[in-house]
Each structure stands twice: as structure tokens, then as C-alpha cells.
């Protein structure tokens, strides 16, 4: 009997001990065997790192071994690749995919081609299918959050959700009639409905997008600012993009566009300004004081010979600088990897300093910088416990990625969009082995080519 | 009997007639169903075009239908892709693949890292395997001719031939002892042997490569010039790459580097100058008069904050301008597709004109321009009857390549190296469905990573 009791006690202890030692937490995804660029505040790099995803969030980031505590539904071997935060595109017009490679480099193409084409072509269907196509390109190239300004923005929201990426989507407001608003400034009412519909969406942040200072007016910009406070949503706008715009405010108020916007009280922590090419030190101080987010669109800005925004200076002064592609009719590609290379090199040229804007800073702008520009740095932009699981794996097997002495250098100077292998957004794998899982690419190609035939017919009359 | 004779005559005539009508010529490759950018003197573009290859040459280029005259061993359906001449890299140091992504952006990295590293690392094996790796990257990205300057250039020749691309390969000559020549200027003797060995090679054009004006001297530059005439081989050199170099010749002779080289009589139609950032209008006139070839390395030049060569101006004045990547420790990637995008956009920024350097001109520089820079335009650089069969197919199925209103725009503003699908050099298919057929990529990766471990140990001591 005593013997029996002893055995029983040992058995029970064994069960308890066993359970304690070997109890594992169930999680959704474990990513192993890669170099983790956390992009956290210490810019920690973890060689042979592991990332744990549970539901839509990052549960843990650490060194090889931590995965033993978990039992995962899905294990991804990064195969010595680079594991990084999803990239953030802080400015685009994704539906314009339909017009990509049309009338490039034509002087005054905005008035000669773009506005007339949009007048005849923009429809809910075109906006949706164009956004589908552009979102596919972005998803496959590791962009997990897009920031968009266009018409029928609810259709962009549908497309972005269909592909499975995150969107900060601004409904355009402009002083003349447009495709989705017959009345001047009709975008405000459209935006209100759009915001109401999407204000609690997991992936979509609806926003107002007054096109630019000079295509709006003081009264309506102030109305939008007031509404953005009420709804607590972002305001996206092109600012200080052209010399002509600067001249307008110089002549009218003896102010820069930034000074004008500040003077009417619309710059605040909800405001995201795209371009900011023509800004001076005083403007930069204002932007900092008002905590404005900045979308730096290097490729589009130099392709149109507009100039180089002092974005590096703004970044170094602590402003919130992210990278943007602009629309596919301006910058032609929608990936952020390509932007990083241009940004790193162009600021070197601009400053005459080969050490300016090192790769780590380009990756910062592409990830946590973009999150900061959108005031979403508490949720996305880095691989840290508790953040949303927006994760990209870049393969390092292709010849251009070999060898790697520095993962940041490899990403910025060697990689291209096609090196992206796996993309996870909000805990869901949307790209695996370079293949999109959420839409039929062939169908999207067919859709674009059908629009193309219509566009050519219209363009011939312009 | 008469009836029988009649039938016989009809039969014989039928056979003759039939043979005449349906006789087809046997060829090696027929490429169909693509947009052919011929890059011939009329810059003819053939929609739904066909290219016929027999042995190592282009037999015919034309519209759909011409293929019926031929019976081909291999038919390639371009699947509505872009069929273009193989791209030409007019300046690189391919073996430096071994060092890619090491010490990027470090001031004075040439003296701090590069020369010490090369002193300890450069060997025939390193040169061969580095060249294998870089040639794989180039082949897969549609570069069919490379122009190289390094040590043990015979090993580069072996590698280039192994991968199956064309090479204009210059043995370095420099005034101090280097890995393959213990005596100053020892490269001259090395080059002579190298040239003797490869002077009749189908793929290799051996050359002299005096490193730069200031790392050589007048006497030896003149010796090299004399030898280049005797052997009828190119002379490759870095010229006017840095402000420091300009200062040297300003202080010494009150001349620019170009004026100095002209004053000593070494500029001629065999000379290919890389960089030419610091050149004035007088220099440009000299370069034109001497019919010098020019390698324009935009990415490397801006990454090092050196500046923008007036290559567009030189091109427009009729000089021979091609594109180069520089070595993979300078420009990091070896593809020419990426260079086209930078060149098109940077010259717009430089001139303040968004219409400057349109895509067609970038493609010109990448193909026939490169051929002209190497004085090989009678053999390569365009898709024309009688030229060597160096042909690239760029797929237009990936999302970034859809839609296409202009094939040049798509190539320059949208494409990346990974869109290259098929590569033919000298009539031989070396890349098919994006896969290299001539070498085990995995083995090359392994080789590079073995070198990496050695390099890290050395770099730690620097």
C-alpha cells in the first residue's frame, strides 16, 4: 500500500512537472532562420532571429530558441533571408495603375492628358480594378500599408481589403466638379459617408484628402480641418510640390504654402503633407511644431524634374518622414524597395556627402518613419511585441543579394521589388513564395488591358 | 500512253512547284509574339514581331508571318513580352562581387578598405569565382556584353565564357605592385600574354586597362597606346572621375584630365573612358574629335556623391555614350535595367526638364549606345539582319509591367532586373524562363559565402 502510494505520488508529480516543462502556447505563425531588422528604437538587429505571431499581432521577437515555447499552426523558414517590418507607402493614387506608362514626360501632362482622361475614365469600376492591380503590385513587393488620395475612395477601400493590405485612404476634395462629386468641394460629403462606413475597420483608416492648397480654398480647408477633429481622421494633401504653387502664395499673401496653411490653422497632428519640395527652414520649424506627417516621393519628384525635398534635413530634425511612390502615372512603380535606393543616393548627391542618408536611415523611412508620418507608430512600422503583425521576408538567394555584409545595405543598394518572398499583413499570409494568395493576377492583367483599349481611344483625341 | 505522260508531267511539275512553295530554310531559333525594339537607325518598333536566329547571327527581323519561311530547332513564344537587343555594361569590375555590401558609404573607402582588402584577397581563384557570380547576375538581368577592368583578367575571361556572355576585358596597369604584377606597370606584360591568348576568341575582346591617368604616367600611357594600335585592342580607363584628379592636372599642367590625355596623344578610337564627370565643353570637343567611347555610370557616381556626368549632352552631340554599373562594391547591382531608370530621371533633375532623356534614349544608351562606346556597333547593340544574336526577352506579365502604352517607358520606368525572362548570346540560349542554364547558382552562392568569411576576418583588422 505504501509502495502503491509512493508510485502514485511520483506519477502525479511527474504529470504536473511534465505539464509545466512542456506546456507550449498555441500561436499562429512562427518565422525562423532569418536576420530580423526590428526597426525598434534601438534599431536592434537579430541574427538568426525568430518572430512569433498570434492572431493579428506580434507576440514575441527574439533569438533562435524562443520558438520552443510555442506550438504554431504555420512555421515559415526564412532561409537566411531578411525579416523586416512591412513597408509603408505614404502617398499614392493607386487606381491610376490603369494609366501607367501613358504620356510619360509630356510637359503639362496634368492638364493635357490626366484631367481629360480622368473626366472620361474615372468610374467606381475603374477605381476598384485599378486599385486591385496596384495593390497586387504593392503586396508582392512588401508594401503592407498604402496611403491613397483619389475619387470613389470607398472602392479603393474594397480593393485594398480584398488584396489584404492596410490602407489610409483619403477621399479627394477639390474646388471643381469631379467624377464622384458634381458640386465643387462635393468630396466633403462623399468623405463623410465614407468615413462613417469605415471608421471602425480593422484594415482601413478613412481620411479627407483636399487635393492641394490652390485647388481648394481657405473656407473649405478649415471645414475639413474641423471635421477631421470631430471624426479624428487624417487629412492628406499635396503641399509645396511645384514652383507655381509657391508663386501663388508668395504673390497672394507673401507666404510659402506651408505658412499659408499654418496661418489658416489647418496644420496639426492629423495632417499628412506629400512632397514638400519647396520648403525653407522656417517652414520646417512650422511643420515640426504642428507635428505634421511627411510623405517623401523622391522618384516621382525627380522624374518630373521638380527637385529634391529636404526630407533628410526634416528627418534629422525629428520630423515624421516616410516614403511614397506617388501614383503609377507619376512614379510608375508602387514598391518602396526601389524608393529606398533612390532616396539614399539622391540625398548623397544633393548634400555632396557620400555618408549622408546611410541605408539604415532609408529602411527607417520606409518602415517606422512611414508609420510615424501616419501617426500609426504605436501600431505598425517595427517588429516589436504587441504591434500588428505586418511582416515581410526578403529572400537573399538571388544573385544580386549575395553576399551580404550588411543587411541594410543589401536592402537599399542591391534588392529590387522581386526579392520579396513572403508578406504577412495583420497576421495573415497574403504572399508566399512570391505568389499572391488573395487574387487571380491573370484576371487583373486582363482587366487592365481592357481599360487600356478604352484609354488609347480617348488619348488619341487629346 | 499520252495520258500516262500527261499525268507524269503534271506530277513532276507538282513536285517542283510544291517544293518551291513550301521549301523552308532550317534555322536555330524563332522568337515570336513580342514587341520588337530593334534599336536600328530608324528605331523601328515591330508590334507582334518575329526574330529569326541562325547559328550565332540574326537572320531576319520582321512582322508576324515571316516565321513561316523557316523551320526552327527551337521556337520561343515571347508571350507579348518585349524583345530587345542584349544590354551592354560598358564598365565594371565584376570580380568585386565578393565584396558587395561591405563598407558602403565609408569616406575614403578606397584606401581604407578596398586596396588593403584586395592586397590580401585578390587571387586567380577569387577573380574567377567573383566573375562567375557577377556574370550570373548580369546574364539573368539581360546583360549580354560586359566591359571589365581588373587583375588576372584571363580568369575573368574564363568565367565570362563559362556563363556564356560576351566580354571586353581589360587587364589593369597601375604604377604600384598589385596582386598579379609585382613590378610597377607589370600589367602591361600580363596584358600582352592575355591578348595573345584571346585575340581570336568568339566572345572575348581582350584589352589594356590603365587604371586612371594619375595612377599611371605619361611614358607608360604612351607605351600602352602604341601597343593597343599594334594589337588593335581597346584601352579602358577611369577618366575625370574625381575632383581630386582634376586638381592634379590643373596644378601640374593647367589642363583637365582629358586635355592632358589628348596632349600626350593617347586618345583615339580604341579608347573607352569611364565616368567623365568632370568634363567641360572643350573636353567634350576633344572626346568627339578623337572618337572616344564613353561609359556613363550614373548609379555609382551619385552613390559616391561625385556628381552627374554631362553624358546626355555628349550623347546629343553624337558622342559614343553607353551605360555602366561600375563594380558591385560601388554600384552594388550589375544590371543595366536599373541604370536606365536612374539615367532617365537624373538627367531630368540635372537639366530641370522633365522631357529630357526620354525612355527611348535610355534604351539607346543601354544597347546600341553601349555598342558604339565599345566600337562594336557593326556587330552588336541592335536587332538587325547580320548582327550577332544577342537578344533579350523582358516579360510583361508581372504586375509592375501592366499595362503598357509605351514599351520604352515600361522598360525604363517600370521594369526591374527580375522581369528579364530569356537571354540569348551569340545564338545560344543561356537564360530561359528566368533560369540560368550554364552554371549552378547554388554553388556560386556557396563560393561567395566562403569568401565572405575570409573577408570579414580581414576587414576586422582594418
Q: What is the distance between the alpha carbons of residues B153 and B155, in angstroms, rounded to a whole number?
A: 5
Asked if A447 contacts B402 with a C-beta cutoff of 8 angstroms, the reply is: no
How many other C-beta atoms lie within 10 A of the C-beta of residue B124?
Answer: 14
**Class of the CATH-defined domain A87-373:** alpha beta
What is the pLDDT at residue A204?
A: 98
Q: Is B346 on the interface with A (CB under 8 A)?
A: yes
Contact assignment for B397 to A445 by CB distance below 8 Å: yes
Residue A412 three-state SS: helix
Q: What was the pLDDT predicted at B462? A: 85
Instruction: Classify the phi-psi angles of B375: left when phi > 0, otherwise alpha if psi is within -120 to 50, otherwise beta.
Output: left
pLDDT exceeds 60 at position B1: no
**CA B76 to chain CA mean position, Å:** 24
The reply to whether residue B399 touches residue A302, judged by beta carbons under 8 angstroms, is no
Give me the phi and psi of B401, to 5 degrees please: -100, 15
B324: nearest Cα among B83, B98, B84, B87: B87
Q: DSSP letter string over A134-197?
A: HHHHHHHTTEEEEEEEESSHHHHHHHHHHHT-EEEEEEEE-SS-BTTBSSTTTHHHHHHHHHHH
Distance from CA of B281 to the nearest CA of A (A): 22
Pinpoint the residues of chain B covered by CATH 2.30.40.10: 23-85+391-425
C-alpha distances (whole Å) from A372 to each of A271, A323, B38 are 12, 11, 48
Nearest alpha-carbon partner for B380 in B90, B161, B35, B48: B90
Q: What's the whole-number mean pLDDT along residues B69-86? A: 98
Is B40 in a helix, a strand, or coil? Answer: coil
Nearest to A112 by CA among A122, A100, A104: A104
- Give the closest-approach CA distance of A357 to chain B in angstroms: 9
pLDDT at A5: 64
Cβ burial B91-100 (10 Å sphere, 16+ → b, else e): bbbbbbbbbb
DSSP state of B95: G
> B449 and chain A: CB distance < 8 Å anywhere?
yes
Give the mutation candidate from B35, B104, B395, B462 for the A interface (greatest A CB count, under 10 A).
B104
Angle subtended at Cα A50 by Cα A44 and Cα A55, rounded to the nearest 5 degrees = 110
Compute the distance between CA of residue A38 and CA of residue B107 in angstroms, rounded to an integer: 27
Q: In whole angstroms, how far apart are CA A353 and each of A350, B302, B305?
A: 8, 10, 6
H runs (alpha helix) in B255-332: 257-263, 281-289, 298-303, 311-316
ipTM higher than the 0.90 cut: yes
Of A212, A254, A266, A227, whose CA–CA distance to A93 is shortest?
A212
- How confident is the prediction along chain A (462 residues), in pLDDT tens digits per residue? 566 666 666 556 555 555 555 579 999 999 999 999 999 999 999 999 999 999 999 999 999 999 999 999 999 999 999 999 999 999 999 999 999 999 999 888 888 888 889 989 999 999 999 999 999 999 999 999 999 999 999 999 999 999 999 999 999 999 999 999 999 999 999 999 999 999 999 999 999 999 999 999 999 999 999 999 999 999 999 999 999 999 999 999 999 999 999 999 999 999 999 999 999 999 999 999 999 999 999 999 999 999 999 999 999 999 999 999 999 999 999 999 999 999 999 999 999 999 999 999 999 999 999 999 999 999 999 999 999 999 999 999 999 999 999 999 999 999 999 999 999 999 999 999 999 999 999 999 999 999 999 999 998 888
Give pLDDT, residue B115.
86
Which grid coordinates are listed for A165?
Answer: 493590405
- Rounded to an integer, the average pLDDT of B403-426 is 98
How far apart (Å, rounded) are the C-alpha atoms in residues B429 and B441? 17
- Closest to B373 in 3D by CA, of B268, B283, B292: B292
- Cell 525635398 sits at which residue? A309
Q: Answer whether A195's CB lies under 8 Å from A235's CB.
A: no
Q: Enumerate residues 6+ apart whose C-beta is below 8 A from A343.
A: A296, A298, A311, A323, A357, A362, A365
| Contact list, A303 vs chain B (CB under 8 Å) | 344-345, 348, 354, 413
Stretch 290-309 of chain A: residues touching chain B, C-beta under 8 Å: 299, 302-305, 307-308
A332·B104 Cβ contact <8 A: no
- State the average pLDDT for chain B: 95
Residues of B within 8 A of A358 (CB-CB) are 104-105
Q: Does B5 have pLDDT greater than 70? A: no
Single pTM value for the model: 0.95
Task: Inform me whether the C-beta atom of residue B33 falls under 8 Å from chain A C-beta atoms.
Answer: no
A349, B308 Cβ separation under 8 angstroms: yes
CA distance B193 to chain A (A): 32
Residue of A nearest to B339 (CA): A342
pLDDT attached to residue A11 = 55
The pLDDT value recorded for residue B8 is 62
Q: Per-residue pLDDT averaged across B144-150, rounded?
A: 98
Nearest-CA distance B117 → chain A (Å): 14
CB contact under 8 A, A102 and B351: no
Q: Which three cell numbers stand for residue B204?
A: 572575348
Sequence-separated (6 or more) residues with CB below 8 Å from residue A305: B348, B349, B351, B352, B353, B354, B356
Q: Do B104 and A358 touch (CB under 8 A)?
A: yes
For chain A, where do the domains classified as CATH 2.30.40.10 start and end?
26-85+386-436
Cβ contacts (< 8 Å) between B345 and chain A: which residues? Answer: 299, 302-303, 342
Closest Cα in chain B to A303 = B345
Q: Please, what CATH class does the domain formed by A26-85+386-436 belong to?
A: mainly beta
| Mean pLDDT computed over B209-223 | 98
Over residues B258-306, the pLDDT tens digits come to 999 999 999 999 999 999 999 999 999 999 999 999 999 999 999 999 9
Nearest to B327 by CA among B127, B188, B155, B182: B127
Comma-separated ranges of CATH 3.20.20.140 domains in chain A: 87-373
DSSP state of A398: S
Which candidate in A126, A278, A330, A399 is best for mutational testing of the B interface (most B CBs within 10 A)? A399
d(CA B275, CA A31): 44
CA dihedral defined by A178, A179, A180, A186, rounded to 10 degrees? 10
- A 10 A CB-CB count for B377 gives 17
Q: Cβ contact (<8 Å) for B105 and A359? A: yes
CATH class of B23-85+391-425: mainly beta
CB contact under 8 A, B448 and A302: no
Q: d(Cα A279, Cα B405) in Å, to the nearest integer?
A: 35
Q: Which residues contact B87 (CB under 8 A, 6 or more apart)?
A: B141, B142, B143, B144, B145, B323, B335, B336, B337, B366, B367, B370, B392
For residue A304, what is the nearest residue in chain B, using CA coordinates?
Answer: B354
Amino acid at each position: 500500500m505504501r509502495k502503491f502510494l509512493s508510485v502514485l505520488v511520483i506519477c502525479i508529480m511527474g504529470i504536473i512537472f511534465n505539464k509545466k516543462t512542456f506546456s507550449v502556447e498555441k500561436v499562429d505563425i512562427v518565422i525562423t532562420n532569418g536576420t530580423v531588422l526590428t526597426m525598434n528604437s534601438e534599431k536592434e538587429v537579430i541574427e538568426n532571429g525568430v518572430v512569433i505571431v498570434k492572431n493579428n499581432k506580434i507576440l514575441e521577437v527574439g533569438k533562435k530558441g524562443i520558438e520552443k515555447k510555442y506550438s504554431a499552426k504555420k512555421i515559415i523558414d526564412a532561409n537566411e533571408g531578411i525579416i523586416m517590418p512591412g513597408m509603408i507607402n505614404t502617398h499614392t493614387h493607386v487606381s491610376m495603375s490603369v494609366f501607367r506608362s501613358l504620356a510619360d514626360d509630356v510637359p503639362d501632362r496634368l492638364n493635357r492628358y490626366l484631367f481629360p482622361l480622368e473626366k472620361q475614365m474615372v468610374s467606381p469600376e475603374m477605381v476598384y480594378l485599378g486599385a486591385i492591380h496596384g495593390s497586387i503590385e504593392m503586396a508582392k513587393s512588401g508594401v503592407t500599408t498604402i496611403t491613397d488620395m483619389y475619387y470613389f475612395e470607398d472602392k479603393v477601400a474594397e480593393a485594398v481589403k480584398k488584396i489584404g493590405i492596410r490602407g489610409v485612404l483619403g477621399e479627394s476634395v477639390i474646388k471643381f466638379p469631379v467624377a464622384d462629386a458634381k458640386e465643387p468641394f462635393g468630396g466633403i460629403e462623399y468623405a463623410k459617408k465614407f468615413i462613417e462606413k469605415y471608421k471602425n475597420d480593422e484594415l482601413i483608416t478613412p481620411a479627407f484628402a483636399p487635393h492641394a492648397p490652390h485647388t481648394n480654398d481657405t473656407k473649405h480647408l478649415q471645414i475639413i480641418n474641423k471635421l477631421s477633429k470631430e471624426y479624428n481622421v487624417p487629412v492628406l494633401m499635396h503641399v509645396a510640390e511645384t514652383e507655381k504653387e509657391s508663386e501663388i502664395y508668395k504673390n497672394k499673401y507673401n507666404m510659402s504654402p506651408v505658412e499659408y496653411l499654418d496661418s489658416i490653422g489647418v496644420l496639426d497632428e492629423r495632417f499628412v503633407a506629400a512632397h514638400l519640395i519647396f520648403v525653407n527652414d522656417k517652414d520646417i520649424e512650422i511643420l515640426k511644431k504642428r507635428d505634421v506627417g511627411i510623405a517623401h516621393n523622391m522618384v516621382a519628384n525627380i522624374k518630373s524634374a521638380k527637385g529634391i525635398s529636404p526630407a533628410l534635413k526634416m528627418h534629422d530634425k525629428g520630423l515624421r518622414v516616410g516614403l511614397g511612390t506617388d501614383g503609377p502615372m507619376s512614379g510608375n512603380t508602387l514598391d518602396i524597395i526601389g524608393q529606398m535606393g533612390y532616396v539614399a543616393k539622391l540625398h548623397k548627391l544633393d548634400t555632396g556627402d557620400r555618408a549622408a542618408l546611410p541605408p539604415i536611415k532609408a529602411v527607417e523611412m520606409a518602415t517606422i518613419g512611414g508609420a510615424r508620418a501616419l501617426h500609426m507608430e504605436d501600431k505598425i512600422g517595427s517588429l516589436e511585441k504587441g504591434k500588428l503583425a505586418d511582416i515581410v521576408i526578403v529572400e537573399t538567394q538571388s544573385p544580386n543579394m549575395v553576399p551580404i555584409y550588411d543587411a541594410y545595405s543589401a536592402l537599399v543598394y542591391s534588392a529590387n521589388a522581386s526579392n520579396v518572398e513572403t508578406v504577412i499583413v495583420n497576421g495573415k499570409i497574403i504572399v508566399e513564395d512570391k505568389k499572391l494568395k488573395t487574387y487571380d493576377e491573370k484576371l487583373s492583367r486582363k482587366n487592365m488591358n481592357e481599360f487600356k483599349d478604352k484609354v488609347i481611344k480617348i488619348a488619341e483625341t487629346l
